[in-house]
Amino acid sequence: MKNLLREKIMNGEKTVGTFFEAGNANVAEALALTDLDYMLIDTEHGPFDVESVMSMLRAAELHDTTALVRVKDSNRNSVLKMLDIGAGGLIIPQVHSIEEIQKLVEYAKYYPLGQRGVAFARGAGYGYLEHAAGDINDYFAVCNRETLLVPQCETMGCLENIEEIAKVDGVDGIFVGPYDLSVAMGIPTQFDKPEFQAAMERIVKAVKAAGKFTIIYCANAEVANTRLSQGFDSVTVGQDINYYIDAINAMVKEIHV
C-alpha cells in the first residue's frame, strides 16, 4: 500500500489535482490517464453514494492516480466508510475546533494514533493485500502513514486555531477552502484583500512549522501558479465538468468562425 501523492509531496514535488464531480467510473478512469497527480471525489457537494465512490476509486487505481475523497461531514460513519472502501485520503469540510480535529483522528487513524474500527474491507484487499495479511500492528502503521487525513481550513474557528490544529498528531495536512473562508471572514471572494492574504501566509507558515503539507483550491491555472509561489505544496484546480464544457465550447467556437 503506497500513497503516490504522499510520496510526491514528501519528496518536495508540487502536485496538481482537480475536483471530480462527474460521478462516473469511466470518467474517473479517463482522469487517471491524464497528467494529474490526484483527483478529489466530492461527496460533500456531489450526489455520490458509497458504492459509486468505490467504483471511482477502483478506476483511479488502474492508472496509479491517488483518489482523495471529501467526505460529506465529520461524523464517524462518513469517515470510516470512505476509508474502508479504499480512499487514499480524506478531506474534511467545515471543522472549527481542536476538539473536532482530535475526534477526526480518533475516527480515521488506527491505534495508537486513534481508534479507527478494524475491518478488512476493500481498502485492505479483504485482508489479502500484503500490508494487511501480516502482523496487525504493521497493518495499523502502514494505514496510518499512507492514508491522509486533511481537515479543511474554511472557518474562522479553524483559522484562529490553525497553529494548534496543524500540530495535532494524526493530521497529515491542511486543505484551504478559499471561498468559504473568505465568506467566514466577511469578505466573500475578495482574495486580494490584505487580511485574506495575511490569512494565507499564516496558514502556510503554521502548517510548515508543524511539518505538514498544504493544499488549496484554485479556480484556474493562473491562480494555481500564484498559490504555489506563495508556498502551498499542492493545488486542486477547478472541477472536471467545467473542463468538459470549456473544451466543447472552444471546439464549437473554432468551427463556427
Query: Over the chain, what is the mean pLDDT?
Result: 95
Q: How would residue 132 be classed by pLDDT, with cut points 50, 70 and 90?
A: confident
Q: How many CB atoms lie within 10 A of CB 78?
A: 18
Quote the cell numbers at residue 28. Answer: 474517473
Average pLDDT over residues 210-236: 98
Q: Give the count of domains, the chain.
A: 1
pLDDT exceeds 70 at position 30: yes
Distance between CA 166 and CA 219 in Å, rounded? 25
pLDDT at 257 (0 to 100): 63
Average pLDDT over residues 106-130: 90
| 143 and 3 Cβ atoms separated by less than 8 Å | no
93's enclosing H/E stretch is: none
**CATH code for position 174:** 3.20.20.60
Please say whether the dihedral angle defined by the alpha carbons of residues 205, 210, 216 and 222, taken in this order, is positive or negative: positive
Distance between CA 106 and CA 117 in Å, rounded? 9
Of the candidates 189, 194, 207, which has an alpha carbon nearest to the alpha carbon of residue 150?
207
Distance between CA 92 and CA 176 in Å, rounded? 11
Domain of 115?
A: 4-255
The pTM of this model reads 0.94
Catalytic residue numbers? 45
**235 contact partners, CB below 8 Å, separation of at least 6:** 14, 15, 16, 17, 215, 216, 217, 218, 224, 227, 228
Higher-confidence residue: 129 or 30? 30
Distance between CA 92 and CA 70 in Å, rounded? 6
Distance between CA 3 and CA 189 in Å, rounded? 33
pLDDT at 123 (0 to 100): 85
Quote the cell numbers at residue 78. Answer: 462518513
pLDDT digits (tens, 9 = 90+) for 33-82: 999 999 999 999 998 999 999 999 999 999 999 999 999 999 999 999 99
